[in-house]
Structure 1
């Protein structure tokens, strides 16, 4: 192996793409070559940065699923073949292509995540602005009631905006596999105003179409919610 060949192995060394003999030879060369040492350090830093946006912790069950699938998949019998070592130039091209693909995947994943976060921030900001507008409306009316079950409902309505801000606070969670569900009552019609996540004991919801509402209520429902309220409600406040 010539000196020129050894100098060209820094990229493959960083990506662990050398044979045992090439790695041993390059390590000996690296100990006395400041240029290669600097290049290796820079390439290692670059590779680490490329991986930052793409890594993720695999789910705990992934290993068991992979081994289960392997046990069900029929394996081909091994076929003896004479090993063919590709030219060094081809190996280096393969390494370069892998680095480029890894960088592209990391960039794409980061862009998708950022776009989703931006959408969530935009939606949350818009709803927060609407809540503020209801609370500050000239015709805003606040009503509150606390039930014997320890559920407190507070509602601010604006007839001009046809909206209401409904806040619920409970002393305890609804129970195992149960949750609280909010309702707007318009005569004999109950309109779903939000199913809370299991375990949640407080929430604030912006409700549209509230000008014709008679009352707001909260019931205890299955974890996925119900199409109609399970009576009796555990909390209710009249706005009529």
Structure 2
């Protein structure tokens, strides 16, 4: 039995042993300095390998996973699925971010996910909430009224010709004002915008290249903040 326990150093260092084997091996460690030293060396080697191969995940990883969590049910619904999500509590938004970190860990060992500062500011806000859009493609809006900002992530929107772009509009009692143009070069498009207090709707329209002063076509994607 002792000879077999000596062979468990690698598995133990990687936490790949059963509870029974772990308890028996830890008793063995108290009597075998050689195994204790080997476990320590294996763990140090694993840490060095992880640091040497670590890379930064794509900047949109957190928001992308948050969008997937927002529109993916884990269990079949018992009632008809509504398009608009319930307001997410702070812990729910943070849980989605933990899911993003877990997804990153699958791709890279000990990688650290990073997003632009304004995006992190919205996602970490105590009142952050996620709302799913209706219309073409998939779009999720993360809103923080306390930060007066919102992050919009859109994907799978139909491709446009070079003469047109997608433009985002903030709509409220003051009318429609442009929040900016969405990139046409990526399958996933992100936009961070200031959010005036009167805004209760957001729309995405197709506009001529360079954008318009006001919407010229019906919104292809709509989000209600009310």
What is the TM-score normalised by the length of structure 2? Answer: 0.45
Q: Larger Rg: 1 or 2?
A: 1
What is the TM-score normalised by the length of structure 1? Answer: 0.43
User: Which is helix-richer, 1 or 2?
Assistant: 1
